[in-house]
Amino acid sequence: MGTDKIKIVIFGAYNAGKSSFIRSIDPQARNVDTKAGDVPTTVALDFGRVIVGGKKIYLFGTPGQERFEFVREILSRGMHGAIVIVDTTREPDDMTRSLCTALSVGTIPYAVFLNKCDHALSSPQRYVEISSGAFTSTMSALTGENALESLQGFIEECF
């Protein structure tokens, strides 16, 4: 891919809001999911596209469940940047911690998007420590508030 085509991979724990984020950016986004009990969960990927500042951004959402590590590894190949979506209504979990640690010692630009800020139990401060060094932004993937702006901010600052 040339510099005008940017592959961004969306990581995050189960239920953090990765699929919702991609759908809020691209209403035509595609998702491969299944039911976990009553609710849909991603088993393969999400895919969405958007143009930011003349750059073509390709968003690849990963499954959050632990057992899909092999899918995350495949989707990560050739990525130019990464976004970790976190659920600010909950304390940081092990998966989110290890994702942030791995990205912080890597060489590609990455961001932590503090999601579910519309929720009464949201507390973004929980993530201050593990997101230090990353581009951070608060948003709600559910209402769409600040979702596109967060992505634009990350792209403009880091690409």
Ligand X SMILES: Nc1nc2c(ncn2[C@@H]2O[C@H](COP(=O)(O)OP(=O)(O)OP(=O)(O)O)[C@@H](O)[C@H]2O)c(=O)[nH]1
Say whether residue 44 binds ligand X (CB under 6 A): no
What distance in Å separates the CA atoms of residue 57 and residue 6, rounded to the nearest whole number? 5
Instruction: Decide which of Mg ion, ligand X, none touches 115; Cβ closer than 5 to 8 Å per partner kind.
Output: ligand X
Interface with ligand X (CB under 6 A), residue total 19
93 binds ligand X (CB under 6 A): no
Judged by CB under 6 A, which of 60, 81, 115, 127 binds ligand X? 115
Name the binder of 7 from Mg ion, ligand X, none, CB < 5-8 A by kind.
none
Q: Which residue has the tokens 């035509």?
A: 28
Answer yes or no: are the C-beta atoms of 130 and 97 closer than 8 Å. yes
- Cα radius of gyration rounded to whole Å, the chain: 14
123 binds ligand X (CB under 6 A): no
Dihedral angle sign, alpha carbons of residues 45, 34, 50, 14? negative
Helices (H), 88-134: 94-104
Contact 18, 84 (CB under 8 A): no
Is 109 a binding residue for ligand X by CB under 6 A? The answer is: no
Minimum distance from residue 46 beta carbon to ligand X (Å): 7
Decide: is 42 part of the binding site for ligand X (CB under 6 A). yes
Q: Which of 96, 91, 99, 17 is nearest to 61 (CA)?
A: 17
Minimum distance from CB of 120 to ligand X (Å)? 9
Interface ranges with Mg ion (CB under 5 A): 18-19, 42
Interface ranges with ligand X (CB under 6 A): 12, 14-20, 41-42, 63-64, 115-116, 118-119, 140-142
